[in-house]
């Protein structure tokens, strides 16, 4: 690569014993229709055949630059090291077991060129198994900055391996090296304070789920770290922390699931409504999107009221609904009851 002309994009990948899927992951970047990139791969002291695979690729592909950590330091520190080695205007993430569809970088760069205010961009994704078989439906992430800002209070609004972000932004806001897993979730919260985020609806990554993936092997630890990040996110809106650690899964389900779950209660709804009211005060957020979020919450609450058993719980939910939306509450409840009656009649 001509060092006097920095690439548009630096793709970064950390590898630790990723030999089973590494070849396909690298090939998916090398075969991109967008070609103005460098591919920085860091071997975190792998003990499988990953070093041999990297050596073969580096010998035949000049855009690939391989580094090896002197000792195993984990993904978080490895990614920061890769960012500091990057030369591109943009940094794109790629995991060693995922597949980037061939137009991924081209579509992301085109969007960023047309939307210069955006500094952090993700996409939808396909979930695939160890054999590459896709789920029936792709995973779609919140598209706009306001939706992303709302979701990130309780859920990770980006699929890590789909993201591309300004290198200068990443240098100002590096990954927190005290966080070994779920490090991206914490990072987005800091980045979104200084830049606009967006997601392309189209799935441009295949995210591979297998029994060696960190989300399986470190699930409980990742979950615990995630809840700590959520606790900090919520405390920025409600410093008094009017929730318990045990209530966080139920709060997350209210945003994550379209159908009521057993974990959610009237207390969860009271907290969600408080959070939304504080969140919506921000003048920098899109007002039409805020109205859409409120409408979605209202319909979801009405659905909970019409499906919830127990007079006391229903009364508490009705009170929260009235305080949240007034007469609109009853309109939403009536619509939900009507839909349920029609569905019963049809079935």
pLDDT tens digit sequence for 221-240: 888 999 999 999 999 999 98
Helix, strand and coil percent figures for the chain, each rounded to 5: 50, 15, 35
Residue 340 is predicted with a pLDDT of 62
Assess whether pLDDT exceeds 80 at residue 213. Answer: no
Assess whether pLDDT exceeds 60 at residue 1. Answer: no
Name the CA dihedral angle for 272, 186, 108, 293, rounded to a multiple of 10 degrees: 10
Q: What's the full length of the chain, in residues? A: 347
Assess whether pLDDT exceeds 70 at residue 296. Answer: yes
Instruction: State the average pLDDT for the chain.
Output: 91
First to last CA, the chain: 64
Residue 14 is predicted with a pLDDT of 97
For the beta carbon of residue 322, count every other beta carbon within 10 angstroms.
13
323: pLDDT confidence band, cut at 50, 70 and 90?
confident
How distant is the alpha carbon of residue 21 from its chain centre? 22
Whole-number Å distance between alpha carbons of 325 and 321 = 6
Residue 141 is predicted with a pLDDT of 96
Residue 77 is predicted with a pLDDT of 98
Residue ranges of E strands in the chain: 9-15, 37-43, 64-68, 90-93, 99-100, 118-128, 164-166, 196-208
Which CATH class for the 9-220 domain? alpha beta
Range(s) of the chain covered by CATH 3.90.550.10? 9-220
Residue 291 is predicted with a pLDDT of 94
pTM: 0.92
């Amino acid at each position: 690569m001509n060092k006097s002309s920095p690439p548009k994009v630096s793709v970064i990948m950390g590898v630790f014993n990723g030999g089973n899927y590494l070849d396909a992951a690298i090939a998916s970047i090398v075969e991109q229709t967008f070609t103005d990139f460098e591919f920085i791969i860091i071997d975190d002291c792998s003990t499988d055949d990953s070093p041999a695979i990297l050596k073969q690729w580096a010998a035949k592909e000049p855009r690939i630059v391989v580094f090896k950590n002197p000792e195993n330091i984990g993904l978080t520190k490895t990614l920061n090291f890769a960012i500091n080695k990057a030369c591109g205007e943009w940094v794109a993430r790629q995991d060693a077991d995922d597949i980037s569809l061939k137009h991924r970088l081209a579509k992301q760069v085109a969007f960023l060129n047309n939307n210069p205010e955006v500094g952090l961009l993700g996409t939808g994704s396909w979930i695939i198994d160890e054999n590459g078989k896709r789920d029936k439906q792709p995973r779609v992430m919140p598209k706009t900055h306001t939706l992303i800002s709302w979701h990130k209070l309780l859920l990770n609004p980006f699929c890590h391996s789909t993201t591309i972000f300004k290198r200068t932004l990443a240098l100002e806001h590096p990954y927190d090296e005290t966080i070994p897993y779920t490090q991206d979730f914490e990072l987005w919260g800091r980045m979104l304070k200084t830049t606009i985020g967006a997601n392309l609806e189209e799935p441009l990554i295949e995210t591979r789920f297998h029994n060696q993936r960190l989300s399986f092997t470190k699930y409980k630890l990742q979950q615990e770290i995630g809840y700590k990040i959520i606790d900090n996110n919520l405390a920025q809106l409600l410093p008094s922390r009017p929730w318990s650690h045990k209530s966080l899964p139920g709060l997350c389900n209210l945003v994550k699931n379209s159908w009521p779950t057993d974990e959610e209660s009237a207390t969860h709804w009271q907290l969600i409504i408080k959070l939304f009211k504080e969140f919506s005060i921000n003048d920098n957020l899109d007002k039409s999107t805020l109205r859409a979020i409120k409408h979605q919450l209202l319909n979801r609450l009405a659905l909970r009221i019409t499906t919830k058993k127990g007079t006391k719980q229903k009364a508490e939910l009705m009170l929260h609904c009235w305080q949240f939306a007034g007469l609109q509450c009853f309109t939403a409840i009536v619509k939900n009851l009507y839909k349920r009656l029609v569905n019963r009649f049809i079935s």
